[in-house]
């Protein structure tokens, strides 16, 4: 039983939130690829060999961040609303067991370091695209998304460095997406941080990953549902980040993560992920999660979402992000979100 999966099921049903944004998304013409998906279903995408399967993700159906991972064609229905480890895992066959944060969808309560509400002129979101580095085409397409999107790049990957450079040239913010051990023993790829490493090995591995990617401002965890529960390695992470003057975003792949708390203890600027957009890579599921992100921002002032360079996610965000302005929502880099949350925490403490 993975801790991730023992999380309580999301209690809220489909958001009741309906507004012009919803309608706009619904009316907006979809790219051809999305039409094909809608008409013919995900199996066609699989048959076509959609390249979007690349990267893995922590939460959700965690997959190794390698190209050519088969599409989980069964995953066309919404994620289970109750903790159900067996169903999540079976959906992944024949791919390795997901890191399963099927529950991560359920981990949407207030982040440990998030003030209960922040008063801003406009609701503000941060959107991080993880798993940049293996797929050049989808990475570049993600970087072309409009606005202040933050990109988390996997270390020592075929295209990580050049995509980080491209993102920087496009005025985007870049983070290291540091692979950390997970409950399901999923492959982590190069730069893996595990509890088996000595402190010296651990610190050297993390430092080498940081040094491998240009223009970094922060770090978040790739997978990590095992490691982020452990204080000692998280202390090592934060000691290194302090030295390098980098912020930390807890991807929050386990409800037992101590990463955010340890970061604060080291005075590392930090925030925590609230919503994973694409645990299930269909338009409707991404649409539902994205709207949850907006609803949370409208209610609490701020919200932090993480997505991936999947075809369905990019198809969706290419339409949705240009509509944020008319929806009255600001999109800011992770570093800015950290400033906002820190300022709000100070204000509320006065
Ligand atoms: Zn990841």
Q: Quick one: average pLDDT of 46-64?
A: 38
Within 20-106, residue ranges assigned H as helices are: 20-27, 32-40, 42-48, 85-92
- Measured in Å, residue 118 CA sits from the centre of ligand 1 at 28
> Across 5-9, 61-65, 95-99, which has the greatest mean pLDDT?
61-65
Residue with more model confidence, 332 or 71: 332
Looking at every residue in the chain, the average pLDDT score rounds to 77
**Each residue's pLDDT tens digit, 129-152:** 999 999 999 999 999 999 999 999
Residue numbers of the domain that contains 316: 116-349
Q: What six digits make up the tokens of 39? A: 């008409």
Least confident of 39-53, 166-180, 300-314: 39-53
pLDDT at res. 156: 98
Q: What is the domain count for the chain?
A: 1
CA distance 98 to 18: 32
Residue with more model confidence, 109 or 229: 229
- Measured in Å, residue 179 CA sits from the centre of ligand 1 at 7
User: Considering the domain boundaries, does residue 225 fall inside one?
Assistant: yes
Q: E strands within 181-269?
A: 216-223, 247-250
- Measured in Å, residue 157 CA sits from the centre of ligand 1 at 13
Going by DSSP bridges, is the β-strand pair 124-132/302-307 parallel, antiparallel, or unpaired? parallel
User: Considering the domain boundaries, does residue 216 fall inside one?
Assistant: yes
- Measured in Å, residue 114 CA sits from the centre of ligand 1 at 22
Q: What six digits make up the tokens of 310? A: 């999947």
User: Considering the domain boundaries, does residue 304 fall inside one?
Assistant: yes
pLDDT at res. 342: 87
Q: Is the pLDDT of residue 210 over 90?
A: yes
- Measured in Å, residue 306 CA sits from the centre of ligand 1 at 9
- Measured in Å, residue 41 CA sits from the centre of ligand 1 at 25
- Measured in Å, residue 177 CA sits from the centre of ligand 1 at 7
- Measured in Å, residue 121 CA sits from the centre of ligand 1 at 32
- Measured in Å, residue 97 CA sits from the centre of ligand 1 at 15
pLDDT at res. 10: 35
Q: Quick one: average pLDDT of 301-310?
A: 97
142, 129 Cβ separation under 8 angstroms? yes
User: Considering the domain boundaries, does residue 305 fall inside one?
Assistant: yes
Residue with more model confidence, 37 or 86: 37
User: Considering the domain boundaries, does residue 339 fall inside one?
Assistant: yes
The CA R_g of the chain, rounded to the nearest whole Å, is 18
CA distance 245 to 49: 41
Least confident of 95-99, 130-134, 286-290, 341-345: 95-99
279, 81 Cβ separation under 8 angstroms? no
Q: Measured between alpha carbons, how far is residue 72 from residues 136, 137, 229 in Å?
A: 22, 21, 28
Rounded (10°) CA dihedral 163, 168, 170, 176: 60
pLDDT at res. 74: 28
- Measured in Å, residue 272 CA sits from the centre of ligand 1 at 15
Q: Which residues, 6 or more positions from 207, have their beta carbon under 8 angstroms from its beta carbon?
A: 240, 244
Residue 195's pLDDT band, with cuts at 50, 70 and 90, is: very high
**Each residue's pLDDT tens digit, 217-270:** 999 999 999 999 999 999 999 999 999 999 999 999 999 999 999 999 999 999
pLDDT at res. 155: 98
Q: Is the pLDDT of residue 291 over 50?
A: yes
User: Considering the domain boundaries, does residue 1 fall inside one?
Assistant: no
145, 129 Cβ separation under 8 angstroms? yes
Q: Is the pLDDT of residue 340 over 60?
A: yes
pLDDT at res. 120: 78
Q: Is the pLDDT of residue 347 over 90?
A: no
Q: Measured between alpha carbons, how far is residue 269 from residues 184, 193, 241, 247 in Å?
A: 29, 21, 10, 5
294, 266 Cβ separation under 8 angstroms? no
Going by DSSP bridges, is the β-strand pair 247-250/216-223 parallel, antiparallel, or unpaired? parallel
- Measured in Å, residue 119 CA sits from the centre of ligand 1 at 31
- Measured in Å, residue 57 CA sits from the centre of ligand 1 at 4
- Measured in Å, residue 297 CA sits from the centre of ligand 1 at 23
- Measured in Å, residue 131 CA sits from the centre of ligand 1 at 5
pLDDT at res. 152: 98
SS3 assignment, position 345? helix
- Measured in Å, residue 108 CA sits from the centre of ligand 1 at 18
Q: Measured between alpha carbons, how far is residue 142 from residues 193, 317, 328 in Å?
A: 26, 9, 23
User: Considering the domain boundaries, does residue 28 fall inside one?
Assistant: no
Residue 25's pLDDT band, with cuts at 50, 70 and 90, is: low
User: Considering the domain boundaries, does residue 34 fall inside one?
Assistant: no
- Measured in Å, residue 274 CA sits from the centre of ligand 1 at 15
- Measured in Å, residue 100 CA sits from the centre of ligand 1 at 12
Q: Quick one: average pLDDT of 57-86?
A: 34
pLDDT at res. 343: 85
pLDDT at res. 1: 38
The closest of 321, 253, 272, 258 to 105, measured between CA atoms, is 253
- Measured in Å, residue 205 CA sits from the centre of ligand 1 at 17
Residue 24's pLDDT band, with cuts at 50, 70 and 90, is: low
CATH of the domain at 301: 3.20.20.370
Q: Quick one: average pLDDT of 200-221?
A: 98
């Amino acid at each position: 039983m993975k801790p991730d999966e023992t999380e309580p099921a999301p209690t809220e049903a489909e958001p009741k939130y309906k507004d012009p944004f919803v309608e706009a998304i619904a009316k907006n013409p979809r790219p051809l690829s999305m039409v094909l998906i809608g008409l013919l279903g995900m199996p066609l995408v699989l048959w076509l060999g959609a390249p979007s399967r690349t990267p893995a993700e922590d939460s959700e159906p965690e997959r190794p961040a390698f190209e050519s991972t088969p599409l989980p064609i069964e995953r066309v229905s919404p994620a289970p609303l109750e903790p159900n480890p067996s169903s999540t895992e079976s959906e992944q066959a024949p791919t390795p067991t997901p890191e399963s944060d099927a529950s991560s969808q359920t981990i949407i309560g207030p982040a440990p370091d998030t003030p209960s509400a922040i008063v801003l002129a406009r609701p503000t979101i941060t959107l991080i695209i993880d798993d940049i580095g293996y797929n050049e085409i989808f990475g570049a397409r993600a970087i072309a998304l409009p606005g202040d999107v933050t990109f988390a790049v996997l270390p020592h990957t075929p295209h990580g460095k050049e995509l980080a450079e491209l993102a920087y040239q496009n005025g985007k913010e870049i983070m290291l997406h540091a692979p950390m051990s997970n409950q399901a023993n999923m492959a982590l790829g190069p730069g893996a941080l595990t509890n088996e490493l000595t402190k010296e090995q651990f610190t050297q591995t993390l430092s080498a990953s940081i040094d491998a990617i240009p223009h970094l401002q922060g770090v978040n965890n790739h997978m990590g549902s095992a490691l982020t529960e452990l204080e000692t390695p998280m202390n090592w992470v934060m000691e290194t980040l302090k030295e390098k003057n980098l912020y930390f975003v807890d991807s929050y792949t386990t409800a037992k993560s101590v990463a955010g708390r340890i970061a604060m203890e080291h005075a590392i600027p930090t925030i925590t992920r609230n919503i994973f957009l694409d645990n299930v890579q269909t338009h409707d599921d991404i649409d539902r999660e994205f709207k949850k992100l907006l609803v949370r921002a409208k209610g609490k002032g701020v919200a932090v979402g993480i997505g991936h360079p999947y075809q369905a996610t990019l198809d969706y965000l290419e339409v949705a992000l240009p509509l944020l302005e008319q929806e009255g929502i600001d999109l800011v880099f992770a570093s800015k979100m950290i400033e906002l949350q820190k300022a709000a925490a100070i204000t509320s403490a006065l």
